[in-house]
A and B are shown apart, each in its own frame.
Chain A
Amino acid sequence: MTQSHRIEGGQIDRGAVLRFTFDGLPYTGHPGDTLASALLANGVRLMGRSFKYHRPRGVLSAGSEEPNALVELRTGGRQEPNTRATVAELYDGLAAQSQNRWPSLRFDALAINDRLSSFFAAGFYYKTFMWPKSFWEKLYEPIIRRAAGLGSVSLQEDPDVYDKGFLHCDLLVIGAGPSGLMAALTAGRSGARVILADEDFRMGGRLNAETLVIGDAPGADWASAAVAELASMPKVRLMLRTTVVAAFDHGIYGAVERVSDHLAEPLPGKPRQVLWRIYAGRAVLAGGATERPIAFENNDRPGIMLAGSMRAYANRWGVQAGERVAIFTNNDDGLRTATDLQAKGVDVVAVIDSREGGALLPGIRHLRGAEVIDSAGRLGLKSVTVRQANGRTEEIRVDALGVSGGWNPNVNIHSHHRSRPVWDASIAAFVPGADGPPGLLVSGASAGVMSTAGALQTGRDAAMAALGLAGAAPDLPEAEDAPVRITPLWYVAHGKGRAWIDQQNDVTVKDIKLAKQENFTSVEHVKRYTTLGMATDQGKTGNVIGLAIMAELTGRSIPETGTTIYRPPYTPVAMGTLAGRSRGREFKPFRLTPSHHWAAEQGAVFVEVGNWLRTQWVPQAGETEWRQSVDREVLATRRSVGICDVTTLGKIDIQGTDAARFLDRVYANTFSTLAVGKCRYGLMLREDGIVFDDGTTARLGEHEFVMTTTTANAVTVFRHLEFCRQCLWPDLDVQLISTTEAWAQYSVAGPNARRLLEKVVDLDIGDAVFPYMGAGAITVCNGLRARLFRISFSGELAFEIAVPTRYGDALLREMLSRGAEFDPVVYGTETLGVMRIEKGHVAGGELNGQSTALNMGLGKMVSKKKDAIGVVLSQREGLVDPDGYRLVGVRPVDPAGKLVAGSHFLEIGADPVAANDGGWLTSKVYSPHLGCDIALGYLKGGDRKIGARMRAVNLVGGTETEVEIVSPHFFDPEGERLRG
């Protein structure tokens, strides 16, 4: 196809041809084109169907405010819906599809909605789909979603990656139009660290779209020279294709850089986009302004666009929007389009100027006091109906109409801290109000300063003020300084049909009238009732018209009516960008245990515990089911010896002359009486009396302890200890440091535990030297420093042995080979769980953040002879109820009976209702030792119910088992084995 609408000029590289498709048809364009400019160059006006009525729509704008020309870009996993053709940079091979149409863009079956429009006015859904309630989710919503909508997603995984990053600067300049460039030049020349970010792929802003002159050069050339100067400054960072989307607190800004969106696919290793967090000492918002249309009947036909955008297509992209063009304006800026287009040889048929009086444009049919009241052309504009000042109507044949209703300063980012814009009648627009983000200044059109000279000056001044620059201000080049001349016209009252305000959401003037009729007159209500200003464009072109009409209807002024404000993001941000690299297996980092490599070699099954990958069990040949492995590991450990990697438990080194005193304060039980060379089980409470954590703590010296925590609470316990040390007892002589990762630690448990260890340790570890709960420094394998603790979580004779982490792998292999005669097994977390439940030790299911020491049967550990965290509140009436929960053991009356964790205790014969609930099973395993399921549970008054029979009822799974309440110590209740 030929580029039938391409005219001379523009900032495109005509020497190179880019091929692309739209709805499967091939077209060509040039580097520098957007998808929209290239489609217009090829004479394509119809680009989409509207959200609700499926009206044919073309391009309205030439920037990120675009409400209509939304397309799906790319295919497969890279398919991206709702991208704006006006900012999609053209590349060779680009494939775009129109959306929200079926079967085709030209013939869309759901355009029937347009005929039925009287049913679909604002509030239609709220009113119609109220009843019956259950129909909403299953019937109404799916149908509506299919009919009313934007693009579709591929449901394939996005093959691209997204980065996050952090940048620092003295001054962030948002927007690289004349004002932003001048601000950046001023700051850069002063030696400041500057970031200049612009959403476009070419800096210069409106200078690229205008024929204005700065100094003696075309504005675009001045911009190029400014960019070149900035690029030569080492402390200035120019960020193209980068949208500052949010102003957060204290000078932090969010920005999205589209690194690879202009490529068919990213280069190897490169992200598609980067989400930057910018720490800016100060910032200047030089975000320009957005033109708004004027609403009139059928003002949404393809071919009707904003006048400034029509001018941009001609000047920047060398594209004429039509062969016969008219302009409809209420201000002087619209006239510029007529002059520029005429200068380029485009046939400007008429300028319809709603204002009376004023100067006539030379050489153009300039109708003053006139209005466009209707248009015709089903899939594209064919003519407009004009009502002249004298009341006569005339149909003018045109295929493009440029509309200018005035310009709205882009105040969005200034509103991100809830600053309300204020009305400036002189330009008939909202400008930034008070209480914007501290440190953010506004310049140029964003500040309501609409001339080029004003943009340059306020840009310079903002940079100087932001950085506190003294001395002479840099000279400014001469530039256009025309005043804004506008007589507001929001909508054309003539005509009975629908006049569109918010084209993205199909909101019309009638909808605003309906909202008023139903008393939704506050701007926030108007927005929610009509959907004005929602979705991807956030009302950039339509909002102000909507509220101005509401003001008129209610007889209030626009300032009285007010405006909604803007939240982040300024333009839509893809979910992938927010996720960054954190997805799939890279969602979080992993922590590997010292035995990980050995276990992986054995084909161990791993379980994620926080970030740790722990061995869950280690299958052997022939074992096809996890229980086979776990039963074997348990029995082998109890029969001879088993080894388990317990490195993941938190370890905290506690030193200082007050270390023992400190431990007395943070543990409910006493540690100051602990002898050097011994360890003790410690119970840590929260201040509210609930159990926080548990573990053993060893006294390695008079002023030196090593505390262990549960794997899950390692971080929170450390934080809590620091709180106690710094905030509660700031003068205690206590020093803390985590040593979790410094030591590889293994539990060696079973009747042969000592014999096996004797094969690797250098010293005597007999009962006399290392009695039960003994602890101390030893050496292994001919002199390697190590620590040995005689502690048991399994009920067996057991030790924990620790060596510097890098030797953990070798120590394990050494223990297995030297101790081969004992047939040692390596067991995982499942076996650990079986043995601790057999022994009645509490863990995750019981340490549930709701249970007290008393609940756990550990009430006697809470010492009242000293002040410790949580002791006082643990004695509250509600927590010491003799009928409260107590830890019990549970076994099925029929040994073949199955237990389910989470089942509730009920008396035999009691109804399964909450009032009869006796408690619940907290942890359940199959005990190969006992040959049946066993469980721990919290049972009301459980300590007095040992021997009772109850039911364990699981209403969720529909199971019920008759159980016997027993002591939680299923195995070796006298503790003979662990002392052996």
Chain B
Amino acid sequence: MADILIAMTALGSRDAAVVHVGPLTVTERLDVALASVAVRRGRAKDLVKAAKAVGLPLPAPARYQAGKIFGAFWVAPEMWFAEAPLPGHEEIAALLKAGLGDAASVTEQTDAWVRFDLAAPDLAPLLERLCNVDFPGAPDGHATRTVIDHLGCYLIKPGPGMARIYGPRSSARSLLHALETAAASAW
């Protein structure tokens, strides 16, 4: 498709960044498509039905839920962010719109965010230096918006020893710097 134009990552590179600090590995994810899905007035039931048909989970507040193709997390009352593998879902908004019809408002969000996946046996010493989320006390599947280094981010806890951060794309460099310095301080 757009083979003429070469994508640049949020960090100004062609390749995903992988950073190791002590026990922590930070992996930039370039392979995720993202779109917001919001219920139209009075269409909640229709959306639930349509979402089921396309395999889009609609998790409860503060929750992330994985699906076969689409994962999703709650971001606001009656609004979710849907994730899908970028290959095959480059046009995630159009795909979802086709499936959900006029029961939802769908907006492409893929390039609005940079995503960093964090992995370490225990992430608490890192995250307690970054945000006010009670990460050790949060259940698996917890998803919340929080502030990291003044930046509004989404923090997801998919399972033990893992965290996903969606941060504002334009500040990717500042966000990664904050992760690195906090990690150096923590370990």
Contacts and interface: CB of A to CB of B under 8 A. Distances in A.
Contacts of A586: 177
Nearest to A783: B1
Contact of A166 (B5, B9, B38, B131): B131
A692 to B, nearest CB: 22
Given A597-B8, A740-B112, A741-B111, A655 B174 contact: no
A742 B137 contact: no
Contact of A163 (B39, B151, B168, B185): B185
Contact of B3 (A741, A782, A814): A782
A810 B8 contact: yes
Q: Which 7 residue pairs across A and B have the least CB separation, nearest first?
A: A269-B184, A589-B174, A784-B2, A733-B41, A655-B105, A805-B111, A735-B38
B182 interface: yes
Contacts of B134: 168, 279
B49 interface: no
Nearest to A589: B174
Contacts, number: 149
A656 B40 contact: yes
Given A588-B150, A592-B12, A704-B105, 15 more contacts: A166-B128, A166-B132, A167-B128, A274-B129, A589-B149, A653-B105, A656-B40, A656-B41, A733-B40, A741-B111, A742-B111, A782-B3, A783-B1, A805-B10, A807-B7
Interface in B1-59: 1-10, 12, 36, 38-42
Contacts of A809: 8
B108 interface: yes
Contacts of A733: 40-42
Nearest to B128: A165
A781 B4 contact: yes
Given A167-B128, A737-B36, A589 B175 contact: yes
Nearest to A648: B170
A58 interface: no
A590 interface: yes
Interface string A2-21: 00000000000000000000
Contacts of B169: 741, 805
A277 interface: yes
A586 B178 CA distance: 9
Nearest to A809: B8
A390 B39 CA distance: 92
Contacts of B36: 737
A581 interface: yes
B182 to A, nearest CB: 7
A744 B111 CA distance: 9
Contacts of A161: 181, 185
B170 A592 contact: yes
Contacts of B177: 586
Given A270-B185, A592-B173, A737-B109, A165 B129 contact: yes
A810 B185 contact: no
B170 A279 contact: no
Interface of A: 161, 163-168, 193, 268-271, 274, 277, 279, 581, 586, 588-594, 596-597, 611-612, 653, 655-658, 703-704, 731-733, 735, 737-744, 780-785, 803-811, 814
Interface of B: 1-10, 12, 36, 38-42, 79, 91, 102, 105, 107-113, 128-129, 131-134, 136-137, 149-151, 168-175, 177-178, 181-182, 184-185
A168 B136 CA distance: 9
A731 B42 CA distance: 9
Nearest to B75: A737
A165 B132 CA distance: 8
Contacts of A782: 1-4
B2 A271 contact: no
A597 B170 CA distance: 12
B16 to A, nearest CB: 12
A803 B2 CA distance: 11
B111 A589 contact: no
**Which of A165, A588, A739, A744 gathers the greatest number of chain B CB atoms within 10 Å?**
A165
A91 B81 CA distance: 53
B113 A589 contact: no
A814 B4 contact: yes
Contact of A279 (B7, B113, B132, B182): B132
A398 B76 CA distance: 74
A805 B11 CA distance: 12
A810 B150 contact: no
Contacts of A164: 129
Nearest to B108: A742
Contacts of A785: 91
A87 B150 CA distance: 34
A737 B107 contact: yes
A806 B29 CA distance: 13
B173 A739 contact: no
Contacts of A593: 170
Contact of B168 (A704, A737, A741, A810): A741
Contacts of A806: 7-10, 111
Given A739-B112, A742-B110, A814 B5 contact: yes
Contact of A805 (B112, B128, B151): B112
Contacts of A612: 170
A274 B130 CA distance: 12
B29 to A, nearest CB: 13
12 contacts: A168-B134, A270-B184, A279-B134, A589-B151, A594-B8, A703-B102, A741-B111, A742-B108, A783-B2, A784-B5, A806-B10, A810-B7
Contacts of A653: 105, 107
A738 B91 CA distance: 18
B179 to A, nearest CB: 12
Given A269-B185, A591-B170, A735 B79 contact: yes
Given A733-B41, A742-B112, A805-B169, A589 B129 contact: no
**Which of A161, A193, A593, A611 gathers the greatest number of chain B CB atoms within 10 Å?**
A611
A166 B170 CA distance: 26
Contact of B111 (A268, A655, A743): A743
A756 B39 CA distance: 41
A804 B111 contact: yes
B178 A589 contact: yes
A13 B136 CA distance: 37
A166 B129 CA distance: 6
B171 A655 contact: no
Contacts of A271: 185
B132 A655 contact: no
Nearest to B104: A735
A164 B148 CA distance: 11
A733 B107 CA distance: 16
Contact of A738 (B110, B112, B172, B173): B112
B133 to A, nearest CB: 8
B150 A581 contact: no
B40 A735 contact: yes
A594 B10 CA distance: 9
Nearest to B170: A591
Nearest to B187: A269
Contacts of A739: 107-109, 112
A722 to B, nearest CB: 9
Contacts of B175: 589
A658 B8 CA distance: 37
Nearest to A270: B185
A581 B181 contact: yes
Nearest to A743: B111
A38 B111 CA distance: 61
Nearest to B81: A737
Contact of A781 (B5, B112, B129, B173): B5
Contact of B171 (A163, A591, A731): A591
A643 to B, nearest CB: 16
A665 to B, nearest CB: 16
B104 to A, nearest CB: 8
A808 B184 CA distance: 33
Contacts of B132: 166, 277, 279
B83 to A, nearest CB: 15
Contacts of B129: 163-165, 274
